[in-house]
Amino acid sequence: MSYARFRPQQGFAAIAAIFLVVVLAALGGFMLTFSNTQQLTSTQDVQGTRAFWAARVGLEWGVAGVFAQPAATANCVSASQTLPGGVATFDGGFTVVVSCSRQIFVEGGVDRKIFQFTSVASSAGGVGTVGFVERSMSASVER
């Protein structure tokens, strides 16, 4: 009997092993990307909530500034008066800008002052950068 005619195939197991390693590496890469995206989304949610509360603090600060003044002479807080610490930088790098406008209406011979406040809290960086978050709140108050 001659064994030269019935030569066994060699190398098929190596090809299957390489294919399996490539598939597992691709799956691992996908899982890593998916996990990273989940973590980034979670961080953005937390930062969005922090920005919301920072904007609310700015809004309440502006309203309190108007009510701290006598009603007859109440006016918007001037641009030189800002939240404590200059333009308030909160823990986490949020900057809050509060703007105010005043309108006076006469009703029954009495002046009615309507104050409109807008508070914008934003994180460091600019629009389009990773981690940038901005929230805005507004309110109207009669004094």
Reported pTM: 0.68
* 7: in domain: no
Residue 24 to residues 12, 28, 31: CA-CA distances in angstroms? 19, 6, 10
**3-state per-residue secondary structure call for 40-101:** HHHHHHHHHHHHHHHHHHHHHHHHHHHHCCCHHHCCCCCCCCCCCCCCCEECCCEEEEEEEE
- The number of residues in the chain equals 143
* 100: in domain: yes
* 2: in domain: no
* 6: in domain: no
* 3: in domain: no
What was the pLDDT predicted at 95? Answer: 84
* 106: in domain: yes
Range of the domain at 30: 12-142
What is the average pLDDT score of the chain?
81
What was the pLDDT predicted at 83? Answer: 46
Which residue ranges of the chain lie beneath pLDDT 50?
79-87
* 77: in domain: yes
- Measured in degrees and rounded to the nearest 5, phi and psi for residue 115 equal -105, 130
What was the pLDDT predicted at 92? Answer: 62
Could you give the number of structural domains in the chain?
Answer: 1
Cα Rg for the chain, rounded, in angstroms? 31
* 124: in domain: yes
